[in-house]
Chain A
Amino acid sequence: MIIITRASITDAELDAIRERIEQRGMRTHLSRGVERTIIGCIGDESLLAELPLRSMPGVEDVVPVLKPYKLASREFAAAPSVVRVGDDPSRPGRVAAFGGPAIAIIAGPCSVEGPDMLRETAEAVRDAGGVMLRGGAFKPRTSPYAFQGLGATALKMLADVRRTTGMPVVTEVMDPRQIDDVAEHADMLQVGARNMQNFSLLSELGRVKRPVLLKRGLSATIKELLMAAEYIMAQGNRDVVLCERGIRTFEVATRNTLDVAALDGFRELMRRLAPFAAAAGRSLGASADGARAGAAA
């Protein structure tokens, strides 16, 4: 349920409406836009059935949110959202914005293999106009015998490169036990395609104060992706960027099929018109070399 308020609403009126809702044991979320302010109600909507919300001062309209992904739906927000990565006063450096007027390019190696390689790549990415560096520390490999990533060592290298280049970094977190360590070193936490529906991982990420880059599962529908985002957002972390990285189709000449239409789907369905990204490397990378150059635009 969302409550759309009149532009002239006062803070005291907003407080009074929220108090009435919270009295029923629900929570409220305020979204202030230029033209309108929206109160989002989170919880069991049947609790609001007898409340005369529509007649309360300052209320313009009361609209049920029919979509199962409430927080992720566009209806819940007053304005398109921008997710800012690296916006942490304790960490000097640049800020990358997703969902704003500019296209944010993330690039970097599939996995971090050493300090020199990472620094050179980072400088190349920065000079080419990229705003963020990616690099895998923990790698989800199809084979348990393939290189699994440098782990904690790679996290430190990523943090070092962030300090020298000022570019925020994103890296994948595969397991809830890695979250604290990754959040300490990286500016954004990535959920890989294979973990898109790892719901305990998603819930834990909802409690973190870092933006999350959520990649679409190999065979996930757009709705399933949005429900995965909802898991993170329901725990309090509203900074989720969706990433289309190619899905599994009958075509085998390219490793994955980049579902370009999905980007428009996100736009249509998603909260706040929002931040989304497309990973090119996965779809182009049939060869080992191509797969190393995972890039997101």
Chain B
Amino acid sequence: MTTDPSPSARDAALDTLGRYRQQIEQLDRDLVSLLAKRVALSKEIGAMKRVAGLPTLDPAREAEVIRRAAALARDASLNDEKVRDIFWHVIGLSRAVQVDE
């Protein structure tokens, strides 16, 4: 059991917690907006691929994206296996808009 904090210490902690949560919320908004930008760019890339006569699916390029993400994740002290999984989903978002065109 932890001892009860003083009322003022508790208020200060709740205050800080609220601010951190706001920051998290802002980061989530940024993440989603970055994802939307990535998808929009992928759509353009899909169009350019068609003009250039290149295949829409490019597994070699996808593998490169995953490898880079894993290396960056390790540098940032994140679990690289989890980040790999996340990026396969991110690639899935981009791939869907290129294939659907």
Contact = CB atoms under 8 A, between A and B. Distances in A.
A22 B68 CA distance: 13
Nearest to B69: A15
B60 interface: yes
B4 interface: no
A23 B80 contact: no
A117 interface: no
B77 to A, nearest CB: 13
A39 to B, nearest CB: 12
A1 B59 CA distance: 19
A58 to B, nearest CB: 15
A102 B59 CA distance: 44
Contact of B71 (A12, A21, A24, A30): A12
Contacts of A19: 63-64, 66-67
Interface secondary structure of A, over-half rule? helix
B71 A22 contact: no
Interface residues on B, range: 10 to 19
B66 A22 contact: yes
B38 interface: no
A287 B87 CA distance: 54
B30 interface: no
Interface in A1-55: 11-12, 15-16, 18-25, 27, 30
A25 B71 CA distance: 20
Nearest to B57: A25
Contacts of A24: 59
Contacts of B44: none
Contacts of B74: 11
Residue of B62, B67, B71 with most partner-chain A CB within 10 A: B67
Nearest to A30: B81
B70 interface: yes
Contacts of A25: 59
A27 B89 CA distance: 13
A75 to B, nearest CB: 20
A21 B60 CA distance: 9
Interface string B45-65: 000000000000001101110
6 closest cross-chain pairs (CB), A and B: A22-B63, A25-B59, A23-B63, A23-B60, A19-B67, A19-B63
8 contacts: A11-B71, A12-B71, A15-B70, A15-B71, A18-B66, A18-B67, A22-B59, A30-B81
Given A22-B66, A27-B88, A30-B81, 12 more contacts: A15-B70, A18-B66, A19-B64, A19-B66, A19-B67, A20-B63, A21-B63, A22-B62, A22-B67, A23-B59, A23-B60, A24-B59
Interface of B: 59-60, 62-64, 66-67, 70-71, 74, 80-81, 88
Interface of A: 11-12, 15-16, 18-25, 27, 30
